[in-house]
Structure 1
């Protein structure tokens, strides 16, 4: 018995070694037999190659921290104007949060809706139009104004501005401020840039438009200004909201073929017509592709039909970067005022007279384009086209 007791563990150990050896020789998987299927699959995970999904990220070019003071002032001026409507609305609601102001706010709102100044030529303040703020605004792009002919102040004028662009920054700098020296180039001519009547119902913003001499584009407003006589002028962005949908860099697609309203006004009030072309106006913003017939184009046109204006899906640069944002890009704008087309006053012009006058107007506009396109539209992708 003692012999069996002392030899038992040794015999057991020998048997385990033999079994282990035989297991290796026969390819048995005894050590893994107790593993679950999940543990086996998990052990294989490191060997699997997962596909790499690379999402294209836009390369954002940030503005340097240190830039000349003048450039900062220019950027600030354009940023403030670009956000003027939300700024004024926010400030108005801030005032509304103080009950002591409520009586004054009520009176102001009543006056805002009954004020007829937008139809009477506004209330321009020369000192406001001449602020250095506007100089910084114009130098941002930079924008410049060219005159092809002297305009005698012995008659009224209608300036037709092309193209509309996304917002019409060149028109603002030229006709609503003195940043480009309009009064020096056209002495004796009082400019009135025209815009949609709805803009005059925005509190506080209404006053800013008045001080800049901006008036309503309604027929009543146009007639009241032109009736004031020699030296008065109005500027109409002829293409309007419809043309803003065609504002793509490198193009000049104009909505003009069926625009006879301003021609008729000029004939009825004896106002000479002055075509104005703004080289670079379409280049300061990028717009989402919206070719005619696409779903986006149809939605934008439907919106325009319902509300009288449209919403181009556009972008520019940001305040702190050069890639994406709502500020316009720094791209040169050159506004060329062409030669005036003399118009004889006729109370009830015929359709033939309207068409003949429009033909002269279009010919002068095309002459401006052909004369300066190689100098100011070098990056154009197509020629000036009348699309509607």
Structure 2
């Protein structure tokens, strides 16, 4: 059985035998990861453990390696075929006799869904703070630099600082930069497990690695942090090419535009959306966008999805023939406190600038979010018929299927997410 290009191999038990000689073939041109191990050990469950099997019967297997979170993702090809749980294996260290491994298991739930739980036991507090700062602290850092330049630094230092910010605001940036990809892996490794964010996929096998999908993610909240679990460096979904579309204002923020580009984000525009889908990339968007913030409230049992009039993403999905996938995140509304200005004029001005219409903060009034669990649920793909010039009736029909799919996803899983009283307002 051949694994999909994304690095996940689906099968069904809890023990993986690493008997005899383990051949490792690197598929990453940036790193020489080929190796061979003579190991009588086994990977067991979620515990990131190796168990010595001694003289027990061994099973031969081969590994294909994928670049993932500083190390690799491994697809398991069995010879002969052996059934194991859907899992991802991250090799942390490799030696001639011992290979230490960490599993990110895609556990099979009773309802048929697959769940990915990032590990939290080995998180370093210092590295986690650094990762969160790189991921979310650019706006605060830039504001601090501007204030220091105005009130603290002498003129020549202030000019140098502001000039540096302008340079990084417009300097070309590439997501293929090796150093940048290392930063992206570092952030994913240490930041996503901080909450942690758990990914639930209703029908993992419904996703074809050779197909591009449009993921419609809700809600936006102060910051759609749960969306990052779908980012390409995470590698949970069996899709080798993934982009997240974010507000274009983020890509005029020095340092943030570099970090987010390395993480696989691109400015949210119709041109980018169509281009990447046409190039075979799956794209994740937040249909409600920044405008959804205008309808947020502080009610503990209420969540808002501003999608009734948001049909552009549906039109592009039909034009490119890409299936739509509803995605909902529970718990995201609690990771930041927020305040929205009372002036409608100010809110409209901020909206024209494509900037957040609220002020938000986390721990100690900083950018560091509160450490509360989030659960991201991925629904089943909604197939569409490709049409370069869809009518409004066609768009409305598919859009209604998406809205219904999102509502069903919410109602079906809110109990599992620990939010039985939560209500979704679709406006």
Report the TM range for the smaller structure's normalisation: 0.5 to 0.7
Counterpart CA distance in 2 for 1:71 and 1:112 is 30
Displacement after TM superposition at 1:144 (Å): 1.2
Deviations 1:76-125 (A, max 9, x none): 5334533223436767989x9579x89x969x83x9648496xxxx5475
Task: Name the counterpart of 1:243.
Answer: 292
1:257 aligned residue: 308
Q: Deviations over 1:122-154 (max 9, x none)?
A: 5475544322x4222112211111111231022
CA distance in 2, matches of 1:75, 1:379: 32
Partner residue, 1:130: 185
Match of 2:264 in 1: 213
Deviation string 1:367-387 (CA, Å, 9 cap, x unpaired) is 11111111214264x411112
Q: CA offsets per residue over residues 236-288 of structure 1, 9 Å max, x none?
A: 11111121241644421110000110000000011111111011111212334
SS at match of 1:137: helix
Paired with 1:341 and 1:124, the residues of 2 have a C-alpha distance of 35
1: CA distance, partners of 2:403 / 2:244: 21
Partner residue in 1 for 2:223: 167
The Cα offsets for residues 281-306 of structure 1, whole Å up to 9 and x where unpaired, read as: 11212334x6xxxx816245323443
Map of 2:358 onto structure 1: 312
- Compute the displacement of 1:205 (Å): 2.7
**Count of aligned pairs between the two proteins:** 293
By how many angstroms is 1:340 displaced? Answer: 0.4
Kindly indicate which of the two structures has a greater share of residues assigned to strand: 2
2:400 equivalent among 348, 351, 359: 359
Q: Find the counterpart in structure 2 of residue 81 from structure 1.
A: 135
Secondary structure of the structure 1 residue equivalent to 2:356: coil
Across the aligned residues of Structure 1 and Structure 2, the Cα RMSD in angstroms comes to: 3.3
RCO higher in 1 or 2 (8 Å CA, sep ≥ 6)?
1
Look up the match of 1:343. 384
Matched residue SS, 2:423: coil
- Seen in structure 2, the aligned counterparts of structure 1 residues 254 and 325 have a Cα distance that, compared at 3 Å, is same
- Secondary structure in 2 aligned to 1:153? coil
Distance 1:188 1:308, change over 3 A: closer
Please say if residues 291 and 351 of structure 2, whose CA atoms lie closer than 8 Å, have aligned partners that are also in contact.
Answer: no
Look up the SS of the partner of 1:130 in the other structure: helix
2:304 paired with 1:283: no
Counterpart in the other structure of 2:243: 192
Q: 1:186 to 1:274 in 2, by over 3 A?
A: same
What TM-score does the superposition give when structure 1 sets the normalisation length? 0.66
Structure 2 stretches of 5 or more lacking a match? 1-121
Q: Quick check: 2:230–2:237 contact (8 Å CA) kept in 1?
A: no
Task: Tell me the equivalent position of 2:424.
Answer: 384
CA change 1:366–1:69 in 2 (3 A) is closer
Rg bigger for which structure?
1
CA gap 1:374/1:366 in 2 versus in 1, 3 angstroms:
same
Q: Deviations over 1:131-184 (max 9, x none)?
A: 2x4222112211111111231022211111100010111113432642xxxx2x
Q: Deviations over 1:339-379 (max 9, x none)?
A: 00111110100000001001111111111111111121426
Alignment pair present for 1:152 and 2:208: yes
Query: What TM-score do the two structures reach when normalised by structure 2?
Result: 0.60
CA distance in 1, matches of 2:164, 2:368: 32
Structure 1, gaps ≥5 residues long: 1-67, 319-323
CA distance in 2, matches of 1:174, 1:366: 20
